[in-house]
Chain A
């Protein structure tokens, strides 16, 4: 085919195809998390977690109480807490606009302090709660702290991890009253 003819044919194809719509920029992070992140339903049988429905409701109630207390930590938690590493988590699916920063503190004896700053995450459905998880590539996931959010969607939750605890993944799940579990925040 001559140069002019092939150029003309390509030009025709371009005009026929027209400009594609541009997907929202945030979709990139969501799609990447959806593909590369941990599975939506996490096997947490080995983690500390109540097996009965009553146990779940008791834990959910405890989480609500703890969340109210945790909210008081905002603005105070910086005292004596030295951040060694910060992890950014981004909402997935229906809570795509939610986010969290997980601050892992520097080693202080055998443990490290961990603070989770959550924003834009709606309160868990009745009887449910959120849980922060970490997992090493080969191990079972470890549930680190349970929490819920207030009407503002924000909360600060505190916990500790062993100083040398290995982990490569970090995420937050919604634990529902019926025992099902869905990942709602993943590493950004």
Chain B
């Protein structure tokens, strides 16, 4: 049975109820970059980030029984696991001395806004990694690397029409998934 077509929620239930290693593998492939991105943003240091990602996925395996789909999406649960694993590392760091605090408030996003923005990017990254490979590569080259569709066609040695078809199909798939996750209306 091909598990890659299953939803996050179904995969988490397989991990929880059957200790299914293949379901865990699909979750890893779908979420490793999203988790790594969140953790790198929070922790900074690449080496520590790798340890946190390792711990986050170990937590997924251990704690999957605690996931309840009626309480929220699998993506949201994975995001919380990732943030908690990173927060554990950050808490262990030496606190900043009061004298080092800036006089003025940071004009950037507040903690809640940062979390919301992080969750949205997390869901987008996971959605991209759940696409079929042929669609994922054209989407990444176009929107993450900034190539035009002609450049994507040249890079992948594909006809321009094929690139356009795969891009549109990938975007439609993303729209469906991100609507389920309430990232887009």
Contact = CB atoms under 8 A, between A and B. Distances in A.
Of listed A10, A16, A18, A22, residue having the most chain B CB within 10 A = A10
Interface in B120-164: 120-121, 124-125, 128, 139-140, 143-145
Interface in A18-67: 18-24, 27-28, 30-32, 34-36
Contact of A14 (B34, B61, B62, B143): B143
Contacts of A23: 32-33, 36, 50, 53
B9 interface: no
Interface string B53-86: 1110110111000000000000000000000000
A9 B179 CA distance: 11
A11 to B, nearest CB: 7
Nearest to A6: B175
B15 to A, nearest CB: 9
Interface residues of A, number: 27
B10 interface: no
Given A13-B124, A19-B145, A35-B57, A6 B184 contact: yes
B168 interface: yes
Nearest to B33: A20
Contacts, number: 93
A21 B168 CA distance: 24
B143 A15 contact: yes
A1 interface: yes
Interface residues of B, number: 38
A23 B43 CA distance: 14
Contact of B57 (A9, A10, A21, A34): A34
Interface in B170-185: 171, 174-175, 178, 183-185
A13 B36 contact: no
Interface in A72-99: 93
B53 A27 contact: yes
Interface of B: 21, 24-25, 28, 32-34, 36-37, 40, 50-51, 53-55, 57-58, 60-62, 120-121, 124-125, 128, 139-140, 143-145, 168, 171, 174-175, 178, 183-185
